[in-house]
Amino acid sequence: MKLHYYLPKPGFGRYVVFPESCGRYLEEAKHRELRPKGLFGYYNLHLLFDGGGKVTYKGHTTEIQAGQGFLFAPGEPQQYETNRSEPWDVYWIHFYGAGADALLEGRGIGKPWLFTFGRQERIRSLLDKLLGLSTAYESGNETIVSATLYELLVELLRSSEGLSASPGLDYQERIRKTADQISASCGEHWDLERMASYAGYSPTYFCRLFQRVMGRSPASFLQETRIARSKKLLVLGGLTVKQIAEQTGFNQSSYFIRRFREREGMTPEQYRLFYTRPVTPEA
């Protein structure tokens, strides 16, 4: 099976990313590409969900399997092919955009970006959505097309690592589920031991993984979620600062006030007044 969809240039010229074309190859044992440097002017992304193949760059060949992918930046030489005895099920996208370079931060430039990706069900659903939008392309959907590709790329950037990582990247899902649980019950007592136990890791290893996946320490994340919850309670009204501190997991109202001021530049009461004071019409 070979699916190819080519999209016209969008009317709005400042999309972060937009596909030039996209498609899927399944059971195509002769699929291979060899493009010299400077020939291809788009980012070229391939994501494997079955089978295998290989990518060759400057004479070095790397085997690629299900749960892995590769990206070439515009203008880079490209050489890759499927495994003839076990052809890959691969989705591919050629894309460009006003913010593509900044979003990808140099990935694929100078050498192909080779990676293992997690959240495969989510990523496949976004790929299928993009192909569906491209099957019967309508100019009125160009914003959705761009947004779908952007979401896909961000998911990959968040859930991908080098090829040395095991397919599936199970630890990322475990860390995110732990973060969701902490956020949902941030008013409870959460120390490092409880967080690590919930995720199924030792405290030291959990801290390292949490920082890698969530971009901040567990303690910082917990405090952020508690402050966010307190903002809602402050704006809704009906509770004192002391009551809000207790409901959001802060042991003392003085500690809550100090941490709130550090993050928001004002006290909780000042925040409440700022967002709940009546608007006086100008004379």
- How many C-beta atoms lie closer than 10 Å to residue 27's C-beta? 14
Q: What confidence tens digit (pLDDT) does each residue in 84-105 have?
A: 999 999 999 999 999 999 999 9
Q: Given this model, what pLDDT does residue 168 score?
A: 47
Whether pLDDT at 144 is above 50: yes
CA angle 274, 277, 279 (to 5 degrees): 110
Is 177-277 a domain of CATH 1.10.10.60?
yes
Sheet architecture: strand order including 60-65: 32-35, 78-82, 52-57, 60-65
* Nearest alpha-carbon partner for 171 in 193, 192, 194, 202: 202
- pLDDT per residue over 228-240, tens digit each? 999 999 998 889 9
- In this predicted structure, what is the pLDDT of residue 268? 94
Secondary structure (DSSP) of 85-151: TB--EEEEEEEE-TTHHHHHTTTTSSS-EEEEEB-HHHHHHHHHHHHHHHHT--GGGHHHHHHHHHH
Domain ranges of the chain: 2-161, 177-277
Class of domain 2-161: mainly beta
pTM (2 d.p.): 0.79
Least confident of 47-51, 158-162, 221-225, 238-242: 158-162
Both tokens of residue 83?
């495994």
**Cα gap 67→235, rounded to integer Å:** 45
140 pLDDT more than 70: yes
> What's the mean pLDDT in 29-46?
95
Is 60 exceeded by the pLDDT of residue 132? yes
Which value, in Å, is the radius of gyration of the alpha carbons in the chain? Answer: 24
Whether 131 shows a pLDDT value over 90: the answer reads: yes
